[in-house]
């Protein structure tokens, strides 16, 4: 998987454009792999739930997902039940649900 720089607004806007294109085609949902890694801190040990994670996901949802009737699921490898609630708040500002793998 590519290691994209989510700090770059132009990159985020391009991602939103691609998602809107698929939405216009009528897709019913999106799976976002390792979504909890998009806000990692450069040159640091890989950790989940970086400092801007939920800000980025709320923006993603606001710019794309909230404009359609979609199911969105994110893979969040460190998501215990409390963390999962942060991603899938009933207010709909982030994702429909998350899952994690036990490795």
Sorted by where each begins, the domain ranges of the chain are 9-99
Contact 60, 92 (CB under 8 A): no
Catalytic residue list contains 7:
no
Q: Give residue 103's pLDDT.
A: 60
Active-site residue, selected from the candidate residues 75, 82, 91, 94: 75
Would you give per-residue pLDDT tens digits along the chain (103 residues)? 678 999 999 999 999 999 999 999 999 999 999 999 898 877 777 667 788 999 999 999 999 999 999 999 999 987 888 888 999 988 879 999 999 876 6
Catalytic residue list contains 91:
no
The set of residues, in sequence order, having a beta carbon less than 8 Å from that of 49 and lying 6+ positions away, is 36, 39, 78, 83
Cα 77 from Cα 71, distance rounded (Å): 19
Active-site residue, selected from the candidate residues 14, 33, 41, 55: 33
Q: Give residue 81's pLDDT.
A: 87
Q: Give residue 51's pLDDT.
A: 86
Whether the predicted model's global pTM rises above the 0.85 cut:
yes
């Amino acid at each position: 998987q590519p290691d994209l720089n989510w700090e770059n607004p132009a990159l985020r806007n391009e991602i939103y454009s691609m998602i809107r294109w698929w939405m216009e085609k009528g897709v019913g949902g999106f799976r976002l792999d390792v979504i909890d890694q998009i806000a990692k801190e450069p040159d640091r040990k890989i950790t989940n739930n970086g400092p801007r994670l939920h800000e980025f996901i709320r923006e993603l949802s606001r710019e794309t997902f909230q404009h359609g009737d979609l199911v969105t699921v994110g893979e969040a490898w460190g998501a215990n039940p409390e963390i999962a609630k942060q991603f899938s708040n009933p207010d709909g500002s982030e994702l429909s649900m998350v899952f994690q793998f036990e490795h």
